[in-house]
Structure 1
Amino acid sequence: MMKLTKIKIIHFGKLSNLTFSLPSKEIDVFFGENEAGKSTTVAFIKQILFGFYLRSNKAPFFEEYEPLVAVSPMGGSLFFELGGSEFELERLWTKGDKSKKGTLTVKKDGHIVPESLFFDNIQNIDGSFYADSFIFNQDTLAQIMKLTENDLVEQIYYLGAAKSTEFLSLRDKFDKEAGTLFKKLGKKPEVNQLLNKRTDELADLSQKQVEFSDYKVLEDDLNKQRTEYLKVQSEYKENNEKLIAAKDLEQKLASYKKYQALKKEFKEVNFSEKDFDLCQSLVVERKNLLASLEESNSQLKSLQESDFDQKQAEKLLLERSSFVEWKNQLENKKYELDKKKKQREQLVALYPFLKKLEQLDANELQRATQKISSKGNSNKSQFMPWIIGLVVMGAFSWMISPILTLLLFILVGYLGIKEAKRKASIREDKANLASFVNKYGFDPNKQNFNLVIEKLNQLKEIELDINNFRSDIENLQSKLQNYTVNLGRYLQQSLSLEDVNEALNNLELTLRQQNVLVANKASLIANIESLKNKLEVINNQINDFFLNAKVKTWDEYLKLREAYFINQEQENRLNALSENFKEDQEKLHEILLDENKWQQEIADLKKQNHQLEVDLTKLNQNTAEIKVKMENFANSDEIERQKQEIETTNTQLNTATSKYLAYVLASQIITRALDIASGERLPKMLVASQEYFTLLTNGNYQAINFGKTIKVTDRNSKKIEIKYLSRATKEQLYFALKLSFAKQIQDEINLPILIDDSFVNFDHGRTENIMKLLEQLSQENQIIIFTARKALADALTKHVLTFER
């Protein structure tokens, strides 16, 4: 049996930070007044198992349970015991989470496992199946009371089928949809309208086919005109292409003439642009080297030698880390010293007697304490009761025996002397104790001696630490002072401890500057020599370029480059012009030999082109006249269009008819499937449900009869229809059937049965009957009851879980 052992609510509806443990082997009962959170807890169990479905997939079981205040996350955990293992199902949802169901984490014995490891044990049912089969509340019963007689019969009959309620609703929906598509004598349904539309369209097609015969004669004349038009159009196109080609050659002829004139003016220039760019970069580099050489010589003259003692400065800077360490140690020692002083003050404040014992030896204190502690006399007299008793006896024995009386009074005197000595000893002990307390500051009879010794030793350890810290501080102060004096002598100035850090920073800066000065001087000397060598190499390279270009100076080289660019521009223009007529160069050469003949050929092409345009216009007019005549008759396009409309109507009719038949068939299939599902489970449910119904009704009803309607048999063997039963008896019947179904599937699905205040319509007798039935079922099924009736909760179990409002 799968058992729910713990409910942990983080935030859910009005409930927050709430945990319930369900260790009882009996029926688990939750008690709470109205609005305390009972129904919220029922919804919590269902939604942690199967999802929150926020703002979607509404069901009759209060799906919307976002926390009443703006807190996060929503959800919590359920703990189940199954097969010796513990499963934890944690489902959480936070603002911004697009998931409607929340995020589920399944753990087995503390380790995260796949969800299937849990849900395979309950056949992967959904929330609706769980609510239909395992949850009893007023919403469930209210739905039953709202149903018509036929609906109620179906609800109970098909209870054995999973999701029977949804299937029945779906079947009714299919029946309704079928009715909107076709009615035998209807006019508005879609199939009826399409049948009428197709009849009208067939009549219209017959009329258009008669007109089509006259249309065909005109169509033949139109085709002849079109054939002639295409022939003339082809001639016009061919002639027009020749005219366009002639105009194109006319434009290219102008470019060809310019090309011939420019070619006569073109001159070659011997110039290498690559060599010029290399030479130019060398000239720029030479200029930069000369500037750098001049600047380096100037910097070298400005550098001065210094008498700075570099080794001593480096030594002082190396000792800087030690100085900082001493300073930090000094601060730490002072801090520890202050802490020890405060510890001493606190210890003496808590134990004032330590002021008098500070200089005392522990052994001496122990001996003095033992003397005082060993002398303890009781304040209670050991002799006074005897004295009083003997006096009383003497007073009574005087009349009987004077001698006995005398002996008694002698004994009383002896005891009196003993009592007086005891009191004197007590006074002496008190005086000695007062002297001890005055001297040592504590009462050994009230103060634990071991604690006194412990605190005294603790005080001495603190004093020893204080002396050590003071010695360390003096040593560190001496080291710091010596370093400060040495640094002041080197810098030739008086320094305090606070000035040392700034003085060392200045000294470090001076040392760095001196190092840079020495390095810069050596670098400048090497750089000047390198610059001179580079200048010599570059001058030689520049002269080689001048020699190759046959110039003597850089200015002559620039003029040669300018002449080269002019030459390049002319060459580019020649290339551009030649691109315009490259493929027609031979034809253009022939035209130039007899240009007048070529102009006459162009004029003839234009005249032919005009005549062909006139012929095309006349053919277009003839075609238009035939088309006007054809518009008065139905053509093949209209007939084809009409046929297409009829085909479209047929398609729509087939689609609508298919939908109608599909709805009818689906309704019949659902009804047959529910018959089969219930028929398999009903015989098994009948035995248990009749037993439960008989128990719940105190034997008033002996059997449940299923047929076209459901009837029950009373104790007089009379069959009674459901509509004549009371509301409470109908609820008992539904309880019996639903509980028998849960009992039947327990070998595959054994989840907790949740009952939420479902006995409000039951009288005392009916309530006792349902309690007996639930106690019987709880042996194999976990049953959890949520009730606002305290007496019912106490009667069901000793371990009532209470909601606090």
Structure 2
Amino acid sequence: MRIKELTIYGFGRHRNVTVTPGERITIFFGENEAGKTTIHQFILQVLFGFPPKNGALLRYEPKDGAAYGGKLLLEDPEYGQFEVERVRGRSAGDVTVRFSDGTTAGQEKLSAILRQYDRTAFESIFSFSLFQLQGLEQMDADELSRTLLSSGTTGVDLLLQLEKKLEKEKGELFKKSGKNPRMNIVLKELRELETAMKEQRSRMDEYGPSMERLHETGQLITQKRQELDGIRQEAGKLQAMRLRLPAEEERKKLTAELERLGNAVFPPNGIREQEMLEAKKVETEAVLSRSRYELEALTDRTEGQADPEHLTVLKVLLDKEQDWQDLRQQEYRCASEQTRLLNEQQHLLDRLGAADTETAAKLRSADSSLAAEQRLQGLAAAVERAEQAAQSCETEWRRAKEQEDRSLAALRQHQAGKPSAEDEAAASKWPGVRIRLAEAKAYTALAGGQQADGASNAGWVIIAAALIAMAAGAFLKQWALVLFGLLTAAAAVILLKKRPAEDRQDDREQEMRALVKAYAGKEEDYEKLCSRVAEYARTEEQLQLTVRQSAGQREALGAELARIRDTEEENGRLLQQALAVHGFQPYASPGMIPELFRMLNKLQETDRLLADLTDELLAIRSRLDTHRRKAEDCLGRELPETDLYTVIRQYAGSLQEQVNAAETGRVQAEQLKRTIHDKENELKTYREKELALFAKADAADKKTFYEAYDRSQRRQALTARLDSLEAQLASQRDADVRDISETELAALEDHQEQRLADIEKELTALTEEQAALRHKTEALLTEDAHLLTQQKFESKKAEFNELAMEWSVKQAVAEAIRQTMADLKETKLPAVLQRANRHFHHVTGGAYDTLAIGDSDHFLALRSDGQSFSIAELSQATKEQAYLSLRLALAGELLGDAPFPIIMDDPFVHFDGRRLSRMIGLLEILAADHQLFIFTCHEELAAQWPDAAIITVSEIGNSQEAVKL
């Protein structure tokens, strides 16, 4: 599966971004906070869903309310090319899968495309960062096997989950020393039921004594209840005596108070009648007062008179208000349009750069035809082309200048290592010295053997050696050796031809021996010196040639740049002249010319509209002045133009109100007079009725009337209470109640209460004992409790057997899963480790051969010399190489079942140059099968991938393409 395109609607800091990654390797480069992790999380969340809002992972929702989510364009060997879009929706977002044939699907299809991987499984293999490459030293073979074998296609992850579930359920069923597991609880209940059964069997012998005691308690309870009834009857008599004593005392007090109040009569409903009369009096007085006040006010208001004829003239004038309003609206519309056009005109002049009236006049009279626009646009385009050519030429000139400077710097640096004058002199002399030295060596060799009998044989030996040297030099192309052999042979021939008598040439021999002594053994040093001096001369000549070439190129580009600048200046002058003729500012580009002419046409059109609008506005204002003068003549004063008819309407309304008020006032005055007369008669009647009511209660005024009412109410309450007491005392006279003092009555009540409490206590104890005995004998008689306990025991025993069977089944399934895991470990893990070992051997440059599993099931790194190291003993970089080798081996092994991209977040920061180079070589090989995404903030790391697609995260925007570097 390969990601062809990322489209971000809104995710974190990115908005409306489209990124096209490379086919094989893509480097996302950017500084911290540039948004690399945001893109990494975007890929994972679009594929596997947005995390919960209260979860540990960030959701990257846009803060400005922009659209949330995006889509990925994917290509899969099984499903072809399709899009996965995820946007805001439920907690994980709403996902849509669109295929190339137009069909769509949802989350279920996406899970199938992802081979049932969830985010955790995907990140455990295909997506990791530097922090996830830690902890290998704590990982054993079993944990690695689970990670390697947890593949959504094989179902091993489901088996692992089932194993954990079974282990948990087994723990819930039974633990050896547990209390809460179900089997432990049932086992405890079985033991308790067994103990209860033993106790119930021992109680069966207690039945006879319990029945005898049950009969005795029944008789005692009957006897105690009879005593209790007698005491309660006596208590009732004492209670009747206590009730009679306070009743007699209260009757005496009530009788005395009734005699004090007397027998005065109060009329029925007297208070209600008086309050009604009082309310009617107050209401009538209020109406009477208000009517009198209104009559006086009405008289004051109607004293003036209105002018009906003046009102008629005003009404005629008001009939023309609509015409006035229409003219006002037309004036407002024209004025507003005039203001708008003036503002637009000034805006256009400002945009066109008209700083004075002369420039504005040029613009108004300028030629705005299409031909003039195209002519100016052609001139501006010529200026722009000349500028671009000048910039390009100037760039080339700078490059040539930089090349010249670098060549001069290299030449100066080279000249700093120039051989000394003595070395140069020695090197120049050495070729001649070398020939003379060979001659001297041959001469001294021949001279030393002339007195021996075999002198001639030695000469021939030297000739043979010289010939061999010449042949070897010719074969090796060492011409100095050939020349040396030739000279040696010639010297030997000369010596052979000379007679022994020549030994007298001692001076020649001494000279030759001195030369040999001076240079013998130093030939190699002088040869190296000659080579160094010659190499210096050749390099200096090459550098000087490079400097001359760079200077020539710079001078040629300078001349070309001057020519282009002249052309640019001439085109600019022509453009400025053309712009000045039209009144434009002299800085227009080809893109600005159409906009300038559009604004010029708009300005000229605005001038024409303003002229027409000014004439129309003058005519409207003339008609408005005519209306205003007529209104001022009618009202006799100057009027504001804005509120002209408002003033007229207010004045006419005032006159109309005066006319109407005069007629209405007359009618209201008559009505008020009648109301005042009627209310005065009503008030007199109410006062007479009130005095008659006071006379019935024998009261002189309102205060004494209410006092009489209070006495009447008190008398009624006392009479009712006295009647109640009489009835109570009459009922007690028939009972067996004797007269007794308060002290004697209290003593009898205390004695009865004590006897009653003692008997009730004894009765309660006997009743409880009787109930316990009855329950005990019934249980012993029927033996139901024993049978029930035995039934519970058998039920719990069956339940325990079922739980034991369930525990055995889970144990067997868990053991089968563990055996399956062991088999998978034996079959699949070796292939992954074999692949990982090849990767590890490659990235460590052969320093380590394999990753092996030690006796403690933890990983060991085996060095090429046979030494083994635990992962904790390796350097940080080597640890990361080991873990990366395992991760990449697992991804390669799962390629057929899970062909996903591999996403890495800065995993190489601890690698030096050699390690990084080898890791890059390995990833280049893996990129043939996997698409690789590498996120980094290190610029030097991005530069290490010449064939990768480099995406600078801080510069991405809409439709951003991957850039090949």
TM bracket (short chain): 0.5 to 0.7
Does residue 232 of structure 2 align to residue 88 of structure 1?
no
Are the counterparts in 1 of residues 159 and 817 from structure 2 also a CA contact under 8 Å? yes
Q: How far has the Cα of 1:79 moved from its partner?
A: 1.2
C-alpha change, 1:273 and 1:130, in structure 2 (3 Å) is: farther
RMSD: 7.2
Q: How far has the Cα of 1:86 moved from its partner?
A: 3.5
Match among 893, 903, 915 for residue 754 of structure 1? 903
C-alpha change, 1:574 and 1:311, in structure 2 (3 Å) is: farther
Match among 325, 332, 335 for residue 331 of structure 1? 335
Does residue 620 of structure 2 align to residue 483 of structure 1?
no
Are the counterparts in 1 of residues 5 and 19 from structure 2 also a CA contact under 8 Å? yes
Write the deviation string for residues 592-633 of structure 1: whole angstroms up to 9, x where unpaired: 7x99964339776544334346768999999xxxxxxxxxxx
Match among 792, 800, 803 for residue 950 of structure 2? 800
Q: How far has the Cα of 1:482 moved from its partner?
A: 1.8
Q: Report the residue type matching 2:751 in the other structure.
A: Q
Q: Report the residue type matching 2:85 in the other structure.
A: E
Greater C-alpha radius of gyration: 2
1:364-403 correspondence to structure 2 within 5 Å: none
Using the size of structure 2 for normalisation, the TM-score is 0.48
Q: How far has the Cα of 1:492 moved from its partner?
A: 1.7
Q: How far has the Cα of 1:6 moved from its partner?
A: 1.0
1:229-378 correspondence to structure 2 within 5 Å: 239-240=234-235, 242-255=237-250, 258=254, 262=258, 265=263, 267=265, 269-271=267-269, 281-302=279-300, 303=302, 304-307=304-307, 309-317=310-318, 319=321, 321-322=325-326, 324-325=328-329, 327-329=331-333, 331-332=335-336, 335=339
Name the CA distance, whole Å, in 2 between partners of 1:611 and 1:10: 94
C-alpha change, 1:330 and 1:611, in structure 2 (3 Å) is: closer
Structure-1 residue corresponding to 2:654: 513
1:285-684 correspondence to structure 2 within 5 Å: 285-302=283-300, 303=302, 304-307=304-307, 309-317=310-318, 319=321, 321-322=325-326, 324-325=328-329, 327-329=331-333, 331-332=335-336, 335=339, 465=609, 467-494=611-638, 499-501=640-642, 505-528=646-669, 552-557=688-693, 562=705, 565-566=709-710, 569-570=713-714, 573-574=717-718, 577=721, 585=727, 587-591=728-732, 598-600=738-740, 605-612=745-752, 672=815, 675=818, 678=821
1:97-116 correspondence to structure 2 within 5 Å: 104=93, 106=95
Structure-1 residue corresponding to 2:520: none
Name the CA distance, whole Å, in 1 between partners of 2:346 and 2:751: 128
Structure-2 residue corresponding to 1:735: 888
Write the deviation string for residues 517-564 of structure 1: whole angstroms up to 9, x where unpaired: 444444444545555677788899999x98xxxx94333346658479
Are the counterparts in 2 of residues 81 and 87 from structure 1 also a CA contact under 8 Å? yes
Structure-1 residue corresponding to 2:554: none
Name the CA distance, whole Å, in 1 between partners of 2:50 and 2:33: 23
Are the counterparts in 2 of residues 774 and 783 from structure 1 also a CA contact under 8 Å? yes
Match among 922, 930, 933 for residue 784 of structure 1? 933
Q: How far has the Cα of 1:289 moved from its partner?
A: 3.2
Are the counterparts in 2 of residues 6 and 21 from structure 1 also a CA contact under 8 Å? yes
Name the CA distance, whole Å, in 1 between partners of 2:668 and 2:924: 109
C-alpha change, 1:527 and 1:112, in structure 2 (3 Å) is: farther
Name the CA distance, whole Å, in 1 between partners of 2:173 and 2:54: 31
Are the counterparts in 1 of residues 861 and 870 from structure 2 also a CA contact under 8 Å? no
C-alpha change, 1:518 and 1:457, in structure 2 (3 Å) is: same
- My pick for the range that moved more, 289-298 or 328-337, is 328-337
3-state SS, counterpart of residue 620 of structure 2 = helix
C-alpha change, 1:488 and 1:54, in structure 2 (3 Å) is: closer
Q: Report the residue type matching 1:675 in the other structure.
A: R
Q: Report the residue type matching 2:890 in the other structure.
A: L
3-state SS, counterpart of residue 600 of structure 1 = coil
C-alpha change, 1:770 and 1:147, in structure 2 (3 Å) is: same
Q: Report the residue type matching 1:516 in the other structure.
A: E
Using the size of structure 1 for normalisation, the TM-score is 0.55
- Give the number of equivalent residue pairs: 632
Name the CA distance, whole Å, in 2 between partners of 1:667 and 1:11: 46
C-alpha change, 1:271 and 1:299, in structure 2 (3 Å) is: same
Q: How far has the Cα of 1:803 moved from its partner?
A: 3.7
Are the counterparts in 2 of residues 259 and 577 from structure 1 also a CA contact under 8 Å? no
Name the CA distance, whole Å, in 2 between partners of 1:2 and 1:559: 116
Name the CA distance, whole Å, in 2 between partners of 1:285 and 1:578: 44
3-state SS, counterpart of residue 786 of structure 1 = strand
Name the CA distance, whole Å, in 1 between partners of 2:103 and 2:35: 31
C-alpha change, 1:64 and 1:481, in structure 2 (3 Å) is: closer
Q: Report the residue type matching 1:492 in the other structure.
A: G
Name the CA distance, whole Å, in 2 between partners of 1:292 and 1:567: 40
Q: Report the residue type matching 1:321 in the other structure.
A: Q
Q: Report the residue type matching 1:247 in the other structure.
A: R
Name the CA distance, whole Å, in 1 between partners of 2:103 and 2:666: 76
Aligned residues: percent identity?
15
3-state SS, counterpart of residue 608 of structure 1 = helix
C-alpha change, 1:589 and 1:536, in structure 2 (3 Å) is: farther
3-state SS, counterpart of residue 630 of structure 2 = helix
Write the deviation string for residues 393-435 of structure 1: whole angstroms up to 9, x where unpaired: xxxxxxxxxxxxxxxxxxxxxxxxxxxxxxxxxxxxxxxxxxx
Are the counterparts in 2 of residues 32 and 804 from structure 1 also a CA contact under 8 Å? yes
Are the counterparts in 1 of residues 284 and 683 from structure 2 also a CA contact under 8 Å? no
Name the CA distance, whole Å, in 1 between partners of 2:886 and 2:317: 104
Are the counterparts in 2 of residues 76 and 91 from structure 1 also a CA contact under 8 Å? yes
Name the CA distance, whole Å, in 2 between partners of 1:24 and 1:55: 36
Q: How far has the Cα of 1:285 moved from its partner?
A: 3.9
Name the CA distance, whole Å, in 2 between partners of 1:755 and 1:459: 61
Q: How far has the Cα of 1:29 moved from its partner?
A: 3.9
C-alpha change, 1:295 and 1:539, in structure 2 (3 Å) is: closer
Are the counterparts in 1 of residues 288 and 675 from structure 2 also a CA contact under 8 Å? no
Name the CA distance, whole Å, in 2 between partners of 1:616 and 1:482: 119
1:157-236 correspondence to structure 2 within 5 Å: 161-162=156-157
3-state SS, counterpart of residue 89 of structure 1 = strand
3-state SS, counterpart of residue 934 of structure 2 = strand
- Segments of 5+ residues of structure 1 without an aligned counterpart are 58-62, 93-100, 184-190, 207-218, 363-436, 443-452, 623-656
Q: How far has the Cα of 1:463 moved from its partner?
A: 6.9
Q: Report the residue type matching 1:6 in the other structure.
A: L
Are the counterparts in 2 of residues 703 and 712 from structure 1 also a CA contact under 8 Å? yes
C-alpha change, 1:282 and 1:90, in structure 2 (3 Å) is: same
C-alpha change, 1:327 and 1:25, in structure 2 (3 Å) is: same
Match among 28, 39, 44 for residue 46 of structure 1? 44
C-alpha change, 1:135 and 1:533, in structure 2 (3 Å) is: same
Q: How far has the Cα of 1:135 moved from its partner?
A: 1.7
3-state SS, counterpart of residue 800 of structure 1 = strand
Q: Report the residue type matching 2:657 in the other structure.
A: V
Q: Report the residue type matching 1:772 in the other structure.
A: I
Name the CA distance, whole Å, in 1 between partners of 2:891 and 2:731: 110
Are the counterparts in 1 of residues 29 and 951 from structure 2 also a CA contact under 8 Å? yes
3-state SS, counterpart of residue 754 of structure 1 = strand
Name the CA distance, whole Å, in 1 between partners of 2:696 and 2:106: 86
